[in-house]
Amino acid sequence: MNSIPEPFDRSLPSPLADLAALRSSGEDSVVATDRLSSRQRAMYVATELDENLATRIANDVDLRLVLLTGSAGGGKSALIRQLQRRLPPGTLTRVVEDATHADSPSEGQTDRLADILAGFEDGVPGAGDLTVMAANTGLLLELHREFRDRAREPLAEVVAYALHVLGVPGTRAVTPTRRAELSTAVLVVDLDQRPTSGGERRLLRSMLSALHPDSPDGVLAGAPRCQTCTVKAWCAPRTNVELLADSRIGEALDEAIEHVAMRRGRDVAPRQLWDSVDELALGGISTEGDPCDAVARIATDRNAGAVWAHLLPNGAFVHPQSAVTRELAELDPSYRASDEAHAIIASVGISPADDRRMLERLLGHGGSDVLHAVVTAASALEQGVAANAARGLVRAHWLVRLIPLGPVVPDEFKAAVAAQEEAEDRVIEVVCEGLVQAFGRKAERKSYLPTESLGESREARVLVQVELEDEVQLLDQYAQTLNPEGSAVVGRRPLTARLKIGKSTVDLDLPLYQLLQLAGDGSLPATVDIERFHALRYAAERVGRAASDDIDRPLLITDDTHGTAFLVSSQQRRGKQRLKIEKVA
């Protein structure tokens, strides 16, 4: 009796297992000291940061310590390996990368780090002595405490200086003279400030290119098992990575990730990007055992509907798991009110053959190659076995940039983030109107803010007239960074606007700006939203209290119980100060 032939060569590695290994929970997510796996080398995508830092190290004769910091998964250890390859032998005296793998130093580790930094005991190390060290913020905080407890004050000052330029709250003693000395000898590079989206040369686009299964230098190392596979037409993940490597789809995803970053107020970390990219590529297919077996079962069952379900426009968008992918799913253009999306949804199902042709036209070709899993998924549309066909086709149109992403970041907010003057008037107008509508009151075309805390429950409130436009100022975040040298190396870009409201300084991110827009348009935010911009409420209260010191300013007394309001103003009449009280709408 003849045995059934295997659908692929099992002696070769599964490319789907390789994809699963990209996750933060996967085998290649943690860098072992002194060793990078071949996949980790492929996962590390060089950007302008690598070149900028190598150039700075090579040309700065005063530099003695380069401290790489940032969140886990930011690529600190891999960046060190790149530096070692880029710089001439002997440039780096010492390399310490394992400090980044702990939130607090052990006693032995503290001693070792003290030995490494010993040159800072009496000023700074001599010429030609250069250390590169990776450490997260938690470890630096503990290291500062350990050095203080051991009376190693000069070393504690080095760590205190690093924490200061990172903007970590707290008072840590560093004399002005010592700070000036360390500012030329120590370079702090915060990888959390590295832009990862928003352009072709940013990290995400390069990561997507590295996914192509036929690239021998990519994360799938050419996917040799795929060359032996007889069920590729049923393999949505293989087609997904080919789609992700397409420049049009890369642009669409980059725009969406950039929107996620703007909403967060910070760039998405590399490890989170890999988690999301991996999830998009696998499309929700089971990774238990040999993941290729899941594809083989789909092929055996001739289940075209499953191929459609796992294809890029569906998969992770329908059942998102990672944090970033959940945020991407919230931007789903198929749920946005747009003429383009409505037209597509209305047309789907009228002619299943047209639906099939639509998907094949949108996604069916990668370069000169037919993407066979797209053809299989398209057959599911024609057979009527494709779940949520209309929404999936809307997402397919978005992926190839035929329809726009639903939400749009206001141009004036983008300009405000970049501290461009042309945005100032519009942003200040939105902020002022939103603050008054959310926390104060308009009366007789004038703005009034409370004179006491909004957190206190009162039947009646006293508000004071303010000229908010004179109190709100857009600040230049680039000029105010505590770490200009390190920020220049990573290419830091603020993703929030920074405002001065009276005597308060407030970070204004995209969600808060949009809430203020809604408030200004008359749609008062829900209580949960108001709590989100506590800093703005506090700033409004401070402005109101400061204005109330002026006895000549008009007051507005509101009675929320009866829904009435009275305007109180001071007038000079016949040499006497008189109060005028009038009821207002």
Write a three-state SS string for 189-227: EEHHHCCCCCCCCCHHHHHHHCCCCCCCCCCCCCCHHHH
Q: If we measure between CA atoms, which residue out of 259, 329, 200 comes closest to residue 495? A: 259
Task: Evaluate if residue 380 carries a pLDDT over 90.
Answer: yes
Please give the pLDDT value at position 69. 92
Residue 97 banded pLDDT, cuts 50, 70, 90: confident
Angle at 104 between CA 101 and CA 107, to 5 degrees: 105
Angle at 428 between CA 478 and CA 517, to 5 degrees: 110
Please give the pLDDT value at position 383. 96
Measured CA to CA, the distance from residue 260 to residue 405 in angstroms comes to 12
CB atoms within 10 A of CB 494: 21
- Residue 584, classed as helix, strand or coil, is strand
Query: 302: alpha, beta or left, given left = phi > 0 and alpha = psi -120 to 50?
Result: left
Mean pLDDT of 413-431: 86
Tens digit of each residue's pLDDT (9 = 90 or more) over 118-158: 999 999 999 999 999 999 888 899 999 999 999 999 999 99
SS3 of 319-367: the string is: CCCCHHHHHHHHCCHHHCCCHHHHHHHHHCCCCHHHHHHHHHHHHCEEC
Task: Evaluate if residue 510 carries a pLDDT over 50.
Answer: yes
- Residue 555, classed as helix, strand or coil, is strand
Tens digit of each residue's pLDDT (9 = 90 or more) over 25-61: 544 444 434 445 555 665 667 788 899 999 999 999 9
Task: Evaluate if residue 24 carries a pLDDT over 90.
Answer: no
Higher pLDDT: 264 or 97? It is: 264
Q: What percent of the chain has pLDDT over 90?
A: 59
Which phi and psi angles does 231 have, rounded to 5°?
-125, 30
- Structural contact between residues 417 and 432, judged by C-beta atoms closer than 8 angstroms: no
Point out the least confidently predicted range of 181-195, 392-406, 568-582.
568-582
Residue 210 banded pLDDT, cuts 50, 70, 90: confident
Residue 283 banded pLDDT, cuts 50, 70, 90: very high
Measured CA to CA, the distance from residue 438 to residue 536 in angstroms comes to 10
Sequence-distant (6+) residues with CB within 8 A of 508 are 416, 431, 496, 497, 498, 499, 536
Residue 457 banded pLDDT, cuts 50, 70, 90: confident
Rg (alpha carbons) of the chain, rounded to whole number = 29
Sequence-distant (6+) residues with CB within 8 A of 543 are 449, 466, 468, 471, 501, 502, 504
Measured CA to CA, the distance from residue 239 to residue 281 in angstroms comes to 8
Mean pLDDT of 335-339: 89
Q: What is the mean pLDDT of the chain?
A: 88
Please give the pLDDT value at position 28. 45
Please give the pLDDT value at position 531. 62
Please give the pLDDT value at position 29. 45
Mean pLDDT of 363-383: 84
Q: What percent of the chain has pLDDT over 70?
A: 90
- Structural contact between residues 160 and 172, judged by C-beta atoms closer than 8 angstroms: yes
Measured CA to CA, the distance from residue 568 to residue 558 in angstroms comes to 11
Measured CA to CA, the distance from residue 191 to residue 492 in angstroms comes to 9
Please give the pLDDT value at position 240. 96
Alpha helices in 406-509 (DSSP H): 411-417, 424-439, 477-480, 484-490
Mean pLDDT of 379-399: 97
Helix 247-264 to helix 323-330 angle (10° resolution) is 100
Task: Evaluate if residue 494 carries a pLDDT over 70.
Answer: yes
Please give the pLDDT value at position 368. 47
Residue 395 banded pLDDT, cuts 50, 70, 90: very high
Measured CA to CA, the distance from residue 495 to residue 203 in angstroms comes to 17
Q: What is the DSSP letter of 32?
A: B
Mean pLDDT of 368-373: 74
Tens digit of each residue's pLDDT (9 = 90 or more) over 103-124: 556 667 888 899 999 999 999 9
Residue 521 banded pLDDT, cuts 50, 70, 90: confident
Measured CA to CA, the distance from residue 555 to residue 445 in angstroms comes to 14
Please give the pLDDT value at position 571. 74
Measured CA to CA, the distance from residue 283 to residue 325 in angstroms comes to 11
- Domain ranges, ordered by start, for the chain: 33-192, 195-399, 411-584
Structural fold of domain 33-192: Rossmann fold (3.40.50)
Tens digit of each residue's pLDDT (9 = 90 or more) over 526-585: 665 666 678 888 899 999 999 999 988 999 999 877 889 999 988 766 667 778 888 887
